[in-house]
Structure 1
Amino acid sequence: MRLITLTSVDNHKQCVTFGAGLLFNETTESYKWLLESFLKAHKKQPKLVLTDQDPSMKAAISEVFTDSRHRLCMWHIMKKLPTKVLLIYESILRSFFLFHLF
């Protein structure tokens, strides 16, 4: 189960949560339902959508919010960066040793 919050920035540069959805599963169809419900209530698409790297959410956004720009949240990217760099480094070392030892 996943809680999705719909948050925006008001005229005073303050974050305001104006909607939320509790999804039982994280499928493209579930995300599409949530985004279509948002459109029904607000009558217009957001200019920008920031998300984590969920592929189902990405697919739903591109189908429902055709006029919006979708970007990845920098916080999520930076949180995952050390792990990704470490995995790349380990892979390079493994390749180096395999190449030079055998």
Structure 2
Amino acid sequence: MKLVVIGGESLDVLQHWVVELFSDVRQGSQGKPEFKVEGPVWRAGKLYRLEAVKDVHILELRWALPCLLQAYLQKPEDYLAHLLGHDNITVAR
């Protein structure tokens, strides 16, 4: 694992922050996480109504996907964006 720190503080201060904030991070390979899909996270046929907290017109949807590195030529995230069908969609890559 590697860490890059860029900042306007002195090197001593940056080093102190890194040791303080990242000393609990374990070294070595942790292996790939596995996602077990047991069905949808919502109940089909149920309508969910949410009250807006702010006057912002943004809908953010997130899915837990398996690793897509082997399918990078097929661009599955672009297919998902096409299915959702909005020009302003942002897909994390």
TM-score, normalising length: structure 1: 0.25
- Answer 1 or 2: which has greater helix percent: 1
TM-score, normalising length: structure 2: 0.26
- Answer 1 or 2: which has greater strand percent: 1
